Chain A
């Protein structure tokens, strides 16, 4: 990459951008550049729990995720990479009456959409995971078709397949600004950085009992040398799918996004022999855990308040909160040791639904952000839809509904099955 012209520039080499790039290339549009400020798997795509599920509370999400799961089933064969996909199901728990009623309604909708979701009493849930202590559980739901993948090879699989078809992927390449003319983006201004320029924002958080640490000073987390290479590329279409970083890039175009980054922490234990089938998620406190194909118990929990802004540092508060909730759910894990913890950013919107589609006033900008911590599992199907949208320029009903303009028009949507 040394300047030049591209049909499509994709900002963000996370799973969303790479899936879209691959689908574009497959449809014959290979003149595509994907840029990322960091390295592959450095953002949320490499930091999530790898859950892939169709148990949602809205019909749209249920149907989209059915397709994503189908893609996951065929991914290894098609992409020639092992993504360690395992369909052990998702087991949702609720501990309050109100949440139990919401779970009942969601399960009914899921069955109407063709899922095999079934509701389980506290006693019945032990048929699925005998190790769970059902005390205090109101109701559970189980869909055997849900599963988990190992996120890293999923990212590499799309990256390699896209590159093999001619897509260019430029990591450590950050967007500094845009050239615009008559409400259209004509060029993207880029700067090449080094890997050590971005690590500071990922350092361990110092405070614990007193809550989250102070907000990071952006000036101290970025180190771009004065002699860094700068260049501008011309383009027909820009796709912005930079996850939690999307608002700061949209701002360069004068576009205010309502998204907020939200730190979410995860940890992983020592490996155990296989014993846990499903991913277990407790909708009351946001606890979730599953067993990876490496044998580790990987899980997280919601911890409030989180520090404002982009923050990928780990906290002791998370570890203590997670351990307390996990040991309550599965008492026999008491002596199992935690090996590592890390953090990533959810990209949250005010109504729990993503922002997808073209932006009014900026004709050739396509947005794909605000995926509420579900971006990874949605990317296999969203990449196809985004590529079709760019190739045909046709707006589907879904893209109209998920458009950014709904916040201006006050037509908000809903989704209640969000973990964390």
Chain B
């Protein structure tokens, strides 16, 4: 039965896989995330974190006091949009290194 229950739909992690991971010694939420891959897909854990934490809490008898570290960007963002943020936020090391090399040649 638990092999047919999906806890993480993005990465196809089933209840059986989470149970197996806990049995094999993954007793904290960060280790469980890494071992099963839950929460690393499109939704970044928005749908599955609570479900996985509940299973973990029920098995080890202790509720995790903190969720997994949230990873930005909170919503998937296109590279082109991030690239267009420009000098205000980003640094262009190629341009600066070229400029200093040109200066050296003069």
Q: Which residue of B lies closest to A199 (CB)?
A: B66
Q: Which of A71-123 contact B (CB under 8 A)?
A: 95-98
Q: Which of A166-210 contact B (CB under 8 A)?
A: 172, 194-196, 199, 202-204, 208-209
User: How extensive is the interface on chain B, given as a class?
Assistant: 35 or more
**Are B76 and A195 in contact, with the CB atoms below 8 A?**
no
Count chain A residues whose beta carbon lies closer than 8 angstroms to a beta carbon of B.
Answer: 54
Q: A48: CB under 8 A from chain B?
A: no
**Are B90 and A320 in contact, with the CB atoms below 8 A?**
yes
Most buried by B among A204, A269, A340: A340
Q: Which residues of B contact A96 (CB under 8 A)?
A: 97-98, 101
Q: A286: CB under 8 A from chain B?
A: yes
Binds B, one of A61-69, A214-222, A273-281, A325-333: A325-333
Q: A126: CB under 8 A from chain B?
A: no
**Are B89 and A316 in contact, with the CB atoms below 8 A?**
yes
> What are the interface flags for B53-72 relative to A under an 8 Å C-beta threshold, 1 for contact and 0 otherwise?
00000000000111001111
* Closest beta carbon of chain A to B106's beta carbon, Å: 14
* Closest beta carbon of chain A to B44's beta carbon, Å: 6
Q: B1: CB under 8 A from chain A?
A: no
Contact A342/B79 with A95-B98, A302-B93, A320-B89 known, Cβ cut-off 8 Å:
no
**Are A196 and B82 in contact, with the CB atoms below 8 A?**
no
**Are A195 and B64 in contact, with the CB atoms below 8 A?**
yes
Q: Which residues of A contact B23 (CB under 8 A)?
A: none
Contact of A285 (CB < 8 Å), options: B44, B77, B93: B93
* Closest beta carbon of chain A to B79's beta carbon, Å: 5
Q: B31: CB under 8 A from chain A?
A: yes
**Are A324 and B83 in contact, with the CB atoms below 8 A?**
yes
Q: Which residues of A contact B85 (CB under 8 A)?
A: 316, 320, 323-324
Q: A407: CB under 8 A from chain B?
A: no
**Are A319 and B73 in contact, with the CB atoms below 8 A?**
yes
* Closest beta carbon of chain A to B58's beta carbon, Å: 17
Contact of A286 (CB < 8 Å), options: B65, B89, B93: B93
**Are A327 and B89 in contact, with the CB atoms below 8 A?**
no
Q: A337: CB under 8 A from chain B?
A: yes
Contact of A196 (CB < 8 Å), options: B65, B91, B93: B65
Q: What 8 A-B pairs come out closest when comparing CB atoms?
A: A334-B80, A323-B82, A195-B28, A320-B90, A337-B76, A285-B93, A340-B71, A321-B90
18 more A-B contacts (CB under 8 A) besides A285-B97, A320-B83?
A39-B28, A97-B101, A195-B29, A202-B69, A204-B72, A317-B89, A321-B91, A323-B83, A324-B86, A325-B92, A328-B83, A335-B80, A336-B79, A337-B76, A338-B77, A338-B79, A339-B41, A341-B72
> Residues of B with Cβ closer than 8 Å to A?
28-31, 34-35, 40-42, 44, 64-66, 69-73, 76-83, 85-86, 88-94, 97-98, 101
> Residues of A with Cβ closer than 8 Å to B?
39-42, 46, 95-98, 136, 152, 156, 172, 194-196, 199, 202-204, 208-209, 269-270, 282, 284-286, 302-304, 314, 316-317, 319-328, 333-342
